[in-house]
Structure 1
Amino acid sequence: MDRGPVEGSSRAAGRVEESAAWHLTERCLAATPEDGARGMFFQGVVGVVGFVQGEAAAAKCLAASGLKELNPAELYPVTRFLAMSAEATRLLKPQLGDWAQSLRYIGTQATVDFLASMFGRDLMQAAGRNPRKMLHHIVENYRVAVSYGERGVLWTGDHSARFVMRRDFMPAPYHEGVLQAALEAVGAQDIQVHGRQLSLLDTEYDVSW
């Protein structure tokens, strides 16, 4: 039996589902010209795609941002980062399984890159090997890394917390990767990070270790 139309409909449905999950257009419309993210995060996305899919895919990823070159310390419009990240999830999906896992992977690399920067080295020194200090100080460092949003930590136990983000443009899976990598960097074990999308730009994460 010819199943071509059915398979085609399935692929189209998958694209619609992914687009709905991302809400990319709505996120871009919610941004203002003052909302920016540093170039190091753009470089991290390009690097991830290049590592997994090769140089041609990395070039597509960069082209999606509308930028030709990147300065790691410069703030670029978050709408460009959203466009780049959406293209990256499309390119990474065949290897990583779905858009959410691709976003987690990108978020993990974003943290690795940030912690290797001059901003991140200060964070690591302040946090030492203490997961609680890391979560506390990462709130302040978000203000250095991006120009939008508010973050806070509510402690729910000696080894657990609720990390709250308001007016942040990336979907929850991205920051699951961010928080996982940040805690791993200070030696935390048995890390669990579960995000909930409260609204388009508001999320909270239950974190434990």
Structure 2
Amino acid sequence: MHVGIESSAGGAAWELELRRLAASEEDTARGMFFQGTLDVVGFLGGDGAVARCKGVAGLWEINPVHMYPVSRFLRLSSTAARLLAPQLDGFEGVLRRMGTQATVDFVSSMFGRDLMHTAAGSPRKLLQSLGDAYRAAVSYGDRYPLWTGEKSARFIMRRDFMPAAYHEGVLQGVLEAIGAREVRVAGRQVALLDSEYELSWK
């Protein structure tokens, strides 16, 4: 179970705002993550919700491979989470779903295909290469595994702007995409922009 800095929706929204304030214009993410979130919003909330999220982010046309300020993604994500929380088990449920969608979009991109080819069906190789894959998708942060067993690891993220619930969805999705079974992911925030994830699979 994810343990956040705040458990309430209001606290989670405020946490996203603090993250946004910590970001600079040089902290960027590829448009595929924006589009993936908008796909979730459109599916569950309709065109009006999509328009509202685009307006908040100040982005009306999004190129999946272009880099955009992560501060805009945080605005979009916060609005999406508030709009969809009643349908997806609260604020963190929305973030988790957004993370899962991000994995779907990433795996189908040229960056994700390179990662899956390098991993060659091995969850360990996947996690070892995941930090490099993140660097192809975002301009900030550091990510790496610490091995705790043959089929378990603690995955470390430093200076990442998305909450642990989002990356729980990402990590669950990418391990399942490589063919891992009975995947378990439990994330925790250790600081505003730092998080750690206990991973296991069969």
* The two structures share one fold, judged by TM-score above 0.5: yes
The DSSP-based 3-state class of the residue aligned with 1:193 is strand
Letter in 2 for 1:102: V
Decide which of 110, 115, 118 is 2:107's aligned counterpart. 115
Q: For the residues of structure 1 that align with 2:51 and 2:10, how far apart are their CA atoms?
A: 22
Match in the other structure for 1:203: 195
Map residues 147-166 of structure 1 onto 2, 5 A cutoff: 147-166=139-158
Listed as ranges, the gaps of 5+ residues in structure 1 are: 1-15
Decide which of 44, 54, 66 is 1:62's aligned counterpart. 54
Q: For the residues of structure 2 that align with 1:129 and 1:142, how far apart are their CA atoms?
A: 19
Letter in 1 for 2:25: P
Query: Are the equivalent residues in 1 in contact too, given 2:157–2:196 (CA < 8 A)?
Result: yes
- The question of 1:131 aligning with 2:123 is answered yes
Match in the other structure for 2:30: 38
Match in the other structure for 1:17: 8
TM-score of the pair, normalised by structure 1: 0.90
Match in the other structure for 1:92: 84
The DSSP-based 3-state class of the residue aligned with 1:76 is strand
Q: CA deviation at 1:33?
A: 1.3
Which structure would you say has the larger Rg?
Answer: 1
The DSSP-based 3-state class of the residue aligned with 1:73 is coil
Q: For the residues of structure 1 that align with 2:174 and 2:8, how far apart are their CA atoms?
A: 30
More helix as a share of residues: 1
Q: CA deviation at 1:24?
A: 2.2
* Superposed CA offset, 1:132-182 (max 9, x none): 111111111000100001111100000000000000000100000000000
Q: CA deviation at 1:116?
A: 0.5
- Deviating above 6 A after TM superposition, structure 1's stretches of 4 or more consecutive aligned residues are none
The answer to which structure, 1 or 2, has the higher relative contact order (CA under 8 A, 6+ apart) is 2
Listed as ranges, the gaps of 5+ residues in structure 2 are: 1-6
Percent identical pairs in the alignment equals 58
Q: For the residues of structure 1 that align with 2:56 and 2:103, how far apart are their CA atoms?
A: 22
- What is the root-mean-square deviation of aligned Cα atoms in Å? 1.2
